[in-house]
Amino acid sequence: MSQHFSAWLSAQQQRMEVVLDEVLPPRMQPRHLQEVMRYAVLNGGKRVRPMLVFAAGEIVAALPARLEKIAAAVELVHVYSLVHDDLPAMDDDILRRGKVTTHIKYDEASAVLAGDALQSCAFEILSEPGLCASAAQQLELIRLLSHAIGARGMCGGQVLDLQAVGRTITLPELEMMHIMKTGALIRAAVLMGATCGQTLSAQEYSQLDHFARCIGLAFQVVDDILDAEGSTDQLGKTAGKDRDHDKPTYVSLLGLAAAREKAQMLYHEAMTSLAPFGRQAIRLEELASFIIKRHY
């Protein structure tokens, strides 16, 4: 990671911490629910999806204040998915972002409700009057996010994931599951960042969309590799869960070496898609590299 990128990343992460603190003010009622939401959201996480919003927003010269709100909405939805994913009915985990999971710190009902409330908070932010230059742009943001996290995106992918436990699935089935469960929200983050500034040509939008799809899938391939290779300390969440739960992954289907090759292939395809944007896409390029090379 270049020093320049690493400084950018940590400045943006700090900026996100402030924005998230502002959208979840500590004194809101009911105090308990607000406390649970803040526990789940603040002080943790790489904030990759907000970074993708910022980096895509640079391509269309979007206003920083606008991007901050959109990035916050995407991160709140991501955190909701983590809180629900950790519940006993789902992945049943006790550690997330180096802290005990939300339902362990509080209780299951609080974790379910905090996840639900984070999701509605995200859509409330996106529908705030005046967020974008036009109502049509705001509707498009809401469409992109709701599509990405519903039955044909994240929730649908989670169902496929739960159904796959202990079963043998094909590579195309695994790919579809990963694209929906993880890739769809990452793709939405990029497209949302690119939707709130100058308008891209259809060709440019489709290039960016291809980048977003490649990097969304690559993110989960790397996650499979890290789950197999990383330690609990390094990841801040329980390592080796996929193998322990007999879950099909790129590593279990292809082996570590081929999984690494797949991630590299997707990375190169993603970079090729950015070529028409030249220097404007530098942050997206750096983020793609960060996603592939990350150790946590």
**Interface positions with ligand GRG (CB under 6 A):** 45-46, 48, 78, 81-82, 84-85, 90, 97, 154-155, 158, 181-182, 220, 223
In the bound state with ligand GRG, the residue whose beta carbon lies nearer, of 67 and 222, is: 222
DSSP 167-227: S---HHHHHHHHIIIIIHHHHHHHHHHTTSSSPPPHHHHHHHHHHHHHHHHHHHHHHHHHH
Q: How far is the CB of 249 from ligand GRG (least distance, A)?
A: 11
- 90, with CB counted inside 10 A (0-12, 13-18, 19+), is middle
The smaller minimum CB distance to ligand GRG, of residues 220 and 273, is found at 220
Q: Which residue type is seen at 267?
A: Y
What are the tokens at 146? 């709701």
Q: CA-CA distance, 141 to 193, in Å (whole number)?
A: 9
State in angstroms the smallest separation of the CB of 46 from ligand GRG: 4
- Residue 66 or 181 having the CB closest to ligand GRG: 181
What is the C-alpha separation between 91 and 162, in angstroms, rounded? 8
Closest contact distance (angstroms) between CB of 281 and ligand GRG is 21
Q: Look at the block and give the residue holding tokens 């905090």.
A: 114
Cα(186)–Cα(206) distance, integer angstroms? 15
Cα of first residue to Cα of last residue in the chain, in angstroms, is 14
Residue type, 192: M
User: Given the complex with ligand GRG, which of 90 and 113 has the nearer CB atom?
Assistant: 90
Of 223 and 242, nearer to ligand GRG (C-beta) is 223
Q: How far is the CB of 116 from ligand GRG (least distance, A)?
A: 8
Q: How far is the CB of 276 from ligand GRG (least distance, A)?
A: 27
Q: How far is the CB of 16 from ligand GRG (least distance, A)?
A: 11
Residue number, 9 or 60, with CB nearest to ligand GRG: 9
